[in-house]
Amino acid sequence: MVVLVLQRLEREKDTLTALRAWQKSELATAGWSMRVVGGGSEQPMLEAWVASHRVPGVTFTGPTPHVADEFASAGILLAPATAEPFGLVVIEAMAAGVPVVASASGGHLETVGLLPTALTFPPGDPEAAAAAMRSFDSGASRSDASNAGRQLIEAEFTIAHHVDQLLAEYVRARRSAPDSAPRPWASSAWERARWRPDRTRRGPSWGGPAPPSGWTGWPGWPPS
Do strands 100-103 and 58-62 pair parallel, antiparallel, or not at all (unpaired)?
A: unpaired
pLDDT at 201: 43
Q: How many other β-carbons are positioned within 10 Å of the β-carbon of residue 64?
A: 13
Below-70 pLDDT ranges, the chain:
178-224
**Domain boundaries along the sequence of the chain:** 2-157, 160-206
| DSSP-assigned beta bridge partners for residue 59 | 35
pLDDT at 120: 97
| DSSP-assigned beta bridge partners for residue 37 | 6, 62
Q: What angle do CA 89, 90, 92 make, to 5 degrees?
A: 60
| Sequence-ordered strand ranges (E) for the chain | 2-6, 33-37, 58-62, 74-79, 100-103, 119-121
pLDDT at 100: 98
pLDDT at 197: 46
pLDDT at 220: 52
pLDDT at 176: 84
Q: Reduce the secondary structure of 34-53 to three states and give it as a string.
A: EEEEECCCCHHHHHHHHHHC
pLDDT at 207: 44
pLDDT at 199: 44
> Is 3.40.50.2000 the CATH number for 2-157?
yes
